[in-house]
Structure 1
Amino acid sequence: MIRPARSTRSTGWVPVALVALVLVPAIAGSLRLLDLSGGPTLMPANPRMSASPVPVVVHIISALAYATLGAFQFSAGFRRRRPGWHRMAGRVLVVLGLAVAFSALWMTLFYPRQPGTGELAYVFRLSFGSGMAAGVILGLTAIRRRDVARHQAWMTRAYALALGAGTQVFTQGLVHAVFGTSALTTDLSLGAGWAINLAVAEYVIRRRGSRRTASTTTGRRGSVISG
């Protein structure tokens, strides 16, 4: 008996690439947690966080878990092999995603302004933090309506915004190297990190939609021919 050939194309690299993107922020966040817990001081002092550590602890822990767990949701092969895990992890990711977004918004609103940044960074943080929270909520609403396409689209956008810190490592380094360090260049480099991630997310969403449309069209043609 001849079995239909299976695609050998692997998607196992996707989670690894996504986790690698946030490696630097993850290390920095872990060192900050060590500092706040009374361990050795390996990061520059940050009086804003030391005075009110709970929001930043919630943000770092939830962001690390969200970035790592969420990466595996983008592996089509992993989802097919473990559909139950995908649903269970999705419920956890909703909680983690909202914790990331709301803790970020809390710090933006109530922490003293981060030195070296200006009004533009403040607006960016409020806008993209709110956007991430909205993406998680809209994604949850969509899957409850069994609208898988919208669910995937909104969750992809939310995850892209959560990974902004990873991309900002590169955008800040590039912008500062070319244009120098100032409040304006720092603000713009932060915004560029989120904007790049959103652009990539939209590309992925549109590509996924095109494949879904092509698959549906092919299926209809096959039904007509066989009929």
Structure 2
Amino acid sequence: MTTRPSIALQPSIRPTPSRGPSWAVPAALILLSLIPVIAGASRMTELVGGAAITPQNARFFASPVPVVVHIVSVTIYSLLGAFQFLPALRGRRGWHRLAGGILIPAGLFAALSGLWMSAFYPLPDGDADVPVRLLFGSAMLVSIVLGVTAVRRRDYVRHGAWMTRGYAIGVAAGTQALVILPWMLLVGTPDELTRALLMTAAWVINLAVAEYFIRRRARLSSRTHRPAGRSVRTAAVVSR
């Protein structure tokens, strides 16, 4: 007596468990964001408390609205945005949409107010870094717009990539402090050109790290969704 072979299909690809602590990246981003957040809070205290006007802060007292908008929007964008890198929250549709509805306008306000200040605030330390500020401020604005365009097309991969780039630019003030401070301790106060180069280096570092995570996420995603045709093990049991 012969029966038909029974075939058991066992896929060889299983979801790869996440490695490392899931809070490591958000925690690092929050710590990095605390540098500009604390500096912004100090600036707000000066404006509200009526601090003495100096050459360093005169432009803020002369036109306080842009800097207040920038401080508030950057604070929301940097701190709330860090939680978008937490897989447990990012995977929740409700959370991601709610947070995105706050982050997108906050990021746009942060970029636009930063561009306005770069273009119209007189800088007491020179204007060598103005072109760099305008370049990366524009890049942040374009990244967020492209991220929104991608999600409207349901292209979630590009959406995540562009929003990651925009966030990397937006939190570069913290990296700038980490780059400029060692220079000041080891070399001294940088001149205009050196300061502009150090600020540029901080933005480049952030974007390089962002690209690393974007490509890493793409590789992991391609492994998870790889076609199972060649990786399916077939076991045939024939009983007679």
TM over 0.5: yes
Counterpart CA distance in 1 for 2:20 and 2:43 is: 39
Using a 3 Å threshold, how does the CA distance of structure 1 residues 139 and 190 change in structure 2: closer, same or farther?
same
Q: What do residues 53-104 of structure 1 show as CA deviations (whole Å, max 9, x unaligned)?
A: 0000000000000001100001112223x32011111111110000000000
Shift of 1:38: 2.7
User: Which residue does 2:176 correspond to in 1?
Assistant: 168
User: Which residue does 1:212 correspond to in 2?
Assistant: 221
Structure 1, unmatched stretches of 5+, are none
Q: What does residue range 174-213 of structure 1 map to in structure 2 within 5 Å?
A: 174-180=182-188, 181-213=190-222
Counterpart CA distance in 1 for 2:104 and 2:68 is: 18
SS at match of 2:225: helix
Given residue 34 of structure 2, which amino acid in structure 1 is its aligned partner? Answer: L
| 2:68 matches 1:60 | no
CA contact (8 A) 2:56 2:124 kept: no
Shift of 1:185: 1.2
SS at match of 2:49: coil
Given residue 111 of structure 1, which amino acid in structure 2 is its aligned partner? Answer: Y
Given residue 27 of structure 1, which amino acid in structure 2 is its aligned partner? Answer: I
Question: Which structure is higher in helix share?
Answer: 1
User: Which residue does 2:89 correspond to in 1?
Assistant: 78
SS at match of 2:226: helix
Q: CA RMSD in A?
A: 2.5
User: Which residue does 1:135 correspond to in 2?
Assistant: 143
Counterpart CA distance in 2 for 1:45 and 1:118 is: 14
CA contact (8 A) 1:179 1:185 kept: no
Shift of 1:21: 0.4
Given residue 109 of structure 1, which amino acid in structure 2 is its aligned partner? Answer: A
Shift of 1:174: 2.6
Counterpart CA distance in 2 for 1:142 and 1:31 is: 37
Identity level (%): 47
Counterpart CA distance in 1 for 2:79 and 2:181 is: 24
User: Which residue does 2:8 correspond to in 1?
Assistant: none
Using a 3 Å threshold, how does the CA distance of structure 1 residues 158 and 226 change in structure 2: closer, same or farther?
farther
Q: Which has the higher contact order (CA 8 A, sep 6+)?
A: 2
CA contact (8 A) 1:116 1:186 kept: no
Shift of 1:171: 1.0
TM-score normalised by the chain length of structure 1: 0.88
Counterpart CA distance in 1 for 2:205 and 2:63 is: 31
Given residue 94 of structure 1, which amino acid in structure 2 is its aligned partner? Answer: I
User: Which residue does 1:152 correspond to in 2?
Assistant: 160
Mean CA deviation greater in 173-182 or 133-142: 173-182
